[in-house]
Amino acid sequence: MSTNPTAPAVRLDRVGKVFGGTHAVRDVTLDIRQNEFFSILGPSGCGKTTLMRMITGFEEPSEGTVELGGVPATGVPAHKRDLNMLFQSYALFPHLSVADNVAFELKVRKLRPRAQIGDAVREALALVRLDGYGDRSVAQLSGGQRQRVAIARALIGRPSLLLLDEPLGALDKKLRAEMQLELKKIQREVGVTFVTVTHDQEEALTMSDRIAVMNGGRVVQVDTPEGVYERPASRFVASFIGTSNFLSGTSDGRVVAVEGLGALPVPEGGAVGEAHLSVRPENVGVCGREDQVPPGHAALRGVLQQSVYLGSAVRHHLTLGDGGTLVAETSSADTAGLTAGGPAWAHWRPEASRVLTE
């Protein structure tokens, strides 16, 4: 397949997939740029794997079209697509040695003369820091090593796109953190577009250039990690990525009036009408008296239920006047003058809050 270097690596246009009458993926339109590290993030069952399988060609979309590098992929069988996939189970061939696994694509696609395959395999294994492991059998490797072999095998043919389905799902926490950085480094080194699927928001935030957040088969927001975190487009995104406090009320574009709590200033130019004010716990300060609230801050009076020491921060749970709760996280130094069961004021800069209509 000849591809256009300036076209997006992947273009999905109103793509949908129906399984037995229900939509697993619905109306997804999105571009994945060349050489970016793109993540698809969403809760279990939201259609991430299905979306990815339509890009690889293992599933044909029921609706819409997929373009790869500017070329329509409709009808192009999976084995003819210029992309590779990293399977969640790694799918290493148990009957082949590490080197033969890695060399597999070169032999099948006849990408290199036989004499050069050995060098290419050594190079690919060096990329994933497994020099000298070529003669091992796959069964002799640890989980992390298997994954590295799978990465080497997927990258040896220099695909223009690598799709990774929950690449770190099977690893323990420490190895995960290591591999997150490693994957990012490999991606920069080889300059291949990476598309990963994950339901781990921290993983998506650490690794990605951009993130598509999915829910119920739809892509609900596409943005940079900072964008989806700081400027969530909906209540779902605000609560799925990190945690947020929500206060429901009516917005006039300058303040949100919350019944029973009063009017809270919000950033200018926000939505008007029924809305949710969303604010992250780490942006909320807590103090014991109203006169300690910094000028210009939105403030709410409540009762401090408890403060939990988290090491680097303290998390305060407040009960508000309308019976709802609000969570604030402050640095440990700010706890003076607060007692559990006593009155407390929660406050935040209006710019740190968001007005969400859905």
Ligand X SMILES: Nc1ncnc2c1ncn2[C@@H]1O[C@H](COP(=O)(O)OP(=O)(O)OP(=O)(O)O)[C@@H](O)[C@H]1O
Which residues here bind another protein, judged by CB under 8 A? 56, 58, 78-79, 84-85, 87-89, 91, 93-95, 104-105, 108-109, 139, 153-154, 157
**Token pair for 72:** 């329509």
What is the radius of gyration, based on Cα positions, of the chain?
Answer: 25
Helix (H, G, I), strand (E, B) or coil at 284: coil
59 or 329: whose CB is closer to another protein? 59
- Out of another protein, Mg ion, ligand X, none, what residue 45 binds, judged by CB under 5 to 8 A for its kind, is ligand X
142 or 332: whose CB is closer to another protein? 142
18 or 71: whose CB is closer to ligand X? 18
Q: How far apart are CA 277 and CA 247, in angstroms?
A: 5
49 binds Mg ion (CB under 5 A): yes
41 or 103: whose CB is closer to ligand X? 41
Q: How far apart are CA 124 and CA 142, in angstroms?
A: 18
DSSP 226: H
- Out of ligand X, another protein, Mg ion, none, what residue 88 binds, judged by CB under 5 to 8 A for its kind, is another protein
83 or 338: whose CB is closer to ligand X? 83
Minimum distance from residue 53 beta carbon to another protein (Å): 9
Number of residues that bind ligand X (CB under 6 A): 12
Helix (H, G, I), strand (E, B) or coil at 77: coil
Residues 26-65 as x/- pattern, contact with ligand X by CB under 6 A: ----------------x-xxxxxxx---------------
39 or 84: whose CB is closer to another protein? 84
| Cβ–Cβ under 8 Å, residues 278 and 238 | yes
DSSP 351: G
- Out of ligand X, another protein, Mg ion, none, what residue 94 binds, judged by CB under 5 to 8 A for its kind, is another protein
**Token pair for 346:** 């929660």
| Cβ–Cβ under 8 Å, residues 151 and 132 | no
Query: Which span (46-54, 99-107, 207-215, 275-283) binds Mg ion, by CB under 5 A?
Result: 46-54
Q: How many CA atoms lie within 13 A of 328 on its CB side?
A: 29
Q: Closest by alpha carbon to 304, among 252, 243, 346?
A: 346
Q: Closest by alpha carbon to 306, among 290, 286, 331, 277?
A: 286
Minimum distance from residue 146 beta carbon to another protein (Å): 12
State the residues that interact with ligand X by CB under 6 A: 19-20, 24, 42, 44-50, 199
